[in-house]
């Protein structure tokens, strides 16, 4: 399965649209968003991918009530979690959060193949126990080159995508 992992879109609708084009072209089946969408219109854009989107809140997602309400009532592909979320995709277990400290604990638990986080806007990947710990960087492009990751869960391959 191809999984797209992104974070820190920060209302940059143009970069999000570019990312979604690549995601659709490459046949990703699920999107994980590690927080900081900011405005509700970003969820509407993500919903347009027509694949499941699983996300957590970041420190800049101010109106979590409205974002949650939209995901439950108006949008058909968005599932929002609180501080952390987890998925089982076939035999591949993934957890995601916005914060590195939470991600470190999830990775150390030994329960996940992949743990994703955002917040720092700096892409990185490292091994923690049996888990791969992935920060996909930022879609926004404020502190560095905008991008995200595609993950092949079967082969455990991680591909950085610049947009």
Give 5-40 pLDDT, tens digit per residue.
999 999 999 999 999 999 999 999 999 999 999 999
- 64 vs 54: CA distance, rounded Å: 15
Q: Taking 90 as the threshold, does the pLDDT of residue 80 lie above it?
A: yes
Residue 158 falls inside a structural domain: no
Residue 118 falls inside a structural domain: yes
Residue 162 falls inside a structural domain: no
Compute the average pLDDT of residues 92-100: 98
Range of the domain at 99: 2-151
- 120 vs 36: CA distance, rounded Å: 11
CATH number at residue 19: 3.60.21.10
pLDDT score, position 121: 96
Q: In the chain, how many domains are there? A: 1
117 contacts: CB under 8 Å, gap ≥ 6:
7, 34, 96, 97, 98, 99, 100, 102, 103, 133, 134, 135
pLDDT score, position 57: 97
Token pair 């990185």 is at which residue?
124
Residue 156 falls inside a structural domain: no
Q: For 104-116, write each residue's pLDDT tens digit.
A: 999 999 999 999 9
pLDDT score, position 143: 85
Residue 163 falls inside a structural domain: no
Report the mean per-residue pLDDT for the chain.
Answer: 96
- 157 vs 140: CA distance, rounded Å: 24
pLDDT score, position 3: 98
The pTM assigned to this predicted structure is 0.97
Compute the average pLDDT of residues 74-100: 97
**Order of strands, sheet of 147-152, starting from the edge strand that comes earlier in the sequence:** 78-80, 53-55, 30-33, 2-6, 147-152, 157-162
Residue 159 falls inside a structural domain: no
Query: Residue 62: pLDDT band by 50, 70, 90 thresholds?
Result: confident
- Name the pairing type of β-strands 84-89 and 2-6: unpaired
Residue 14 falls inside a structural domain: yes
Query: Residue 144: pLDDT band by 50, 70, 90 thresholds?
Result: confident
């Amino acid at each position: 399965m191809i999984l797209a992992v992104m974070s820190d879109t920060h209302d940059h609708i143009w970069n999000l649209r570019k990312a979604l084009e690549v995601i659709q072209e490459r046949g990703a089946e699920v999107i994980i968003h590690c927080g900081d969408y900011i405005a509700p219109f970003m969820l509407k854009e993500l919903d347009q991918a027509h694949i499941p989107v699983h996300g957590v809140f970041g420190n800049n997602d101010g109106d979590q009530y409205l974002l949650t309400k939209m995901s439950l009532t108006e949008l058909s592909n968005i599932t929002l979690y609180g501080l952390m979320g987890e998925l089982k995709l076939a035999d591949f277990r993934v957890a995601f959060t916005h914060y590195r400290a939470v991600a470190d604990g999830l990775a150390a638990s030994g329960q996940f193949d992949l743990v994703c986080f955002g917040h720092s806007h700096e892409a990185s990947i490292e091994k923690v126990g049996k888990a791969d710990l992935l920060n996909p960087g930022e879609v926004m492009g404020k502190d560095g080159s905008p991008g995200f990751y595609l993950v092949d869960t079967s082969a455990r391959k991680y591909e950085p995508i610049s947009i």
